[in-house]
Amino acid sequence: MKHFKVNQNQTNQKQVFGFKKCIATCAMLFSVWFVLQAQTVRYVDNNQGAPTASGLNYTSVQAAVNASAAGDIIYIQPSPNGYGDINMTKQLSIYGLGHNPSLNAGQVATVNNILFRSANASGSKISGLNIYGIYLDNGTYDNHDIVITNNRIVYVAGNSTTSKANNVIISGNFFYHDSSVAIDNVNSQNWIISNNTFTRTNAYWDYEMFFRFNNTTLFNNNIVLSHQNGDNNQRIEIFRSCSGTQISNNIFLFRGTSVSNFNLGSNSALNFQNNLTYGFNSTLDALSGTNNIDNADPQFVNFVQNSSLNNSNNDYHIQGGSPAENAGTDGNNLGVFNGNYPFSIRGYPTELPYLTDFVIYNNIISAGTSLNINVKANANINN
């Protein structure tokens, strides 16, 4: 835990409001960390009353992207206003504060689509944002080694060409969608999809979550929650047109009725190992594969019934004595904390410090007087 005390003289304002100061202090904290890095750091803030664009400060993410050099870092401030699409044109690291933060009145940095379609942006990292779609589907440019972590996402699309968007890591994210596919691997190679949570809220039986996974795709250590009801044969579709995929150490939860089988779809040779299934309102057939645990409550430390998987009151650590305890292929617990992965239900990027407490003792002041702030923050997990 790090503690900060900031005294700031105000010479051009008679009133200072806590939200704006919280935003500024977040930038200060991240600057302290980023100054140790070699890359240029740019800040984007489209809040009402935010400073106009100048120097390294921007109101548009795309303007910051266009001004950056390969390897630079962009930090996007939480805002009630969306930031639109991002067209990736080079290798960049783009960070938000987290997709479900405890401060800033829960505000997040929201972007629409992140498009890898105009240049080689291999090695880019996206973290801590609220995102609709990430598209790695351009057939002209290489976009390998992309890291997508600690975001709230609706959809990620791979590439139809086997040589254009490979070695992608998708981890620590919260996927939430009503009806569409969550991840479409297409023909991309060597994707690792691990330590994420996935929620499908629509009850219809054939709205698959995972599409066109191949034999180079690893789907491990995830928690999947489906609200789908079974068809006339008590089947639902989770995977579709997937072939040869390794599926291990996951927890599959089902809230729908009349569900006995979730492997409906044109799949082949899926390798289910050391997974757990549990139906809240139905009994599932034994899962094909080896060392799977059927119809067993995973016994999370805390799970709020009928809540979203990103409910901050949920705790997906496994209780002692749970059937998921030490049940993984590696002898560790099943689910998102497998292998001591630093899963954050709030989506805090592991590279950044994050605020845990922010108190302004005199939030309305006269010009020339001191602003007294007490800030507490956790150091970034990587350090």
- Using the structure block, give the residue that is written with the tokens 């795309």: 62
Q: What is the pLDDT of residue 194?
A: 97
pLDDT tens, position by position, 296-346: 999 999 999 788 899 999 999 999 999 999 999 999 999 999 988 999 999
pLDDT tens, position by position, 202-231: 999 998 999 999 999 999 999 999 999 999
Q: Which of 320, 304, 253, 360 is nearest to 10 (CA)?
A: 360
Using 50, 70 and 90 to split pLDDT, how confident is the model at 154? very high
Using CA atoms, how far residue 283 sits from 64, 223, 292, 294, 323, in Å, is: 52, 18, 15, 9, 17
**Residue 253 is assigned to a structural domain of this protein:** yes
**Residue 67 is assigned to a structural domain of this protein:** yes
pTM of the model: 0.85
Using 50, 70 and 90 to split pLDDT, how confident is the model at 378? low
Q: Please tell me the distance from the alpha carbon of residue 200 to that of residue 227, in angstroms, as a whole number.
A: 6
Helix ranges (DSSP H) in 59-160 = 61-67
Q: Please tell me the distance from the alpha carbon of residue 285 to that of residue 61, in angstroms, as a whole number.
A: 48
Q: What is the pLDDT of residue 23?
A: 46
**Residue 241 is assigned to a structural domain of this protein:** yes
Q: What is the pLDDT of residue 32?
A: 44
Residue 7, pLDDT above cutoff 50:
no
Q: What is the pLDDT of residue 358?
A: 46
**Residue 278 is assigned to a structural domain of this protein:** yes
Residue 233, pLDDT above cutoff 90:
yes
Region of poorest pLDDT, from 14-18, 90-94, 111-115, 280-284: 14-18
Residue type for position 329: T
Mean pLDDT of all residues in the chain? 86
**Residue 383 is assigned to a structural domain of this protein:** no
Work out the average pLDDT over 367-383.
58
Q: What is the pLDDT of residue 357?
A: 47
Q: Which of 47, 43, 17, 45 is nearest to 30 (CA)?
A: 43
Please list, in sequence order, all residues whose beta carbon lies within 8 angstroms of the beta carbon of residue 36, skipping any fewer than 6 positions away.
Answer: none
Residue 5, pLDDT above cutoff 70:
no
Q: Please tell me the distance from the alpha carbon of residue 75 to that of residue 173, in angstroms, as a whole number.
A: 18
Work out the average pLDDT over 140-155.
97
Q: What is the pLDDT of residue 187?
A: 96
Region of poorest pLDDT, from 10-14, 137-141, 148-152, 221-225: 10-14
Tokens describing residue 201: 């809220």
Residue 111, pLDDT above cutoff 80:
yes
Work out the average pLDDT over 74-93.
97
Q: What is the pLDDT of residue 24?
A: 45
Residue 274 domain boundaries: 2-378
Q: Which of 17, 18, 19 is nearest to 107 (CA)?
A: 19
Q: What is the pLDDT of residue 240?
A: 95
Q: Please tell me the distance from the alpha carbon of residue 309 to that of residue 209, in angstroms, as a whole number.
A: 15
Burial 331-369 (b: 16+ CB within 10 A, else e): ebbbbbbbeebebbbbbbbbbbbbbeebebeeeebeeee
Residue 171, pLDDT above cutoff 60:
yes
**Residue 43 is assigned to a structural domain of this protein:** yes
Q: What is the pLDDT of residue 16?
A: 37
Q: Which residues pair with 19 in a beta bridge?
A: none
Residue 51, pLDDT above cutoff 90:
no
CATH code of the domain covering residue 50: 2.160.20
Structurally, the chain folds into a number of domains equal to 1
Residue 170, pLDDT above cutoff 90:
yes
SS3 of the chain: helix, strand, coil, percent, to 5: 10, 30, 60
Q: Which of 93, 106, 36 is nearest to 64 (CA)?
A: 93
Tokens describing residue 337: 């904390």
Residue 264, pLDDT above cutoff 90:
no
User: Phi/psi at 175 (nearest 5 deg)?
Assistant: -100, 130
Higher pLDDT: 229 or 366? It is 229
| For the ranges 41-55, 93-107, 154-168, the one whose mean pLDDT is highest | 154-168
Query: Percentage of the chain surpassing pLDDT 90?
Result: 73
Residue 3, pLDDT above cutoff 90:
no
Using 50, 70 and 90 to split pLDDT, how confident is the model at 53? confident
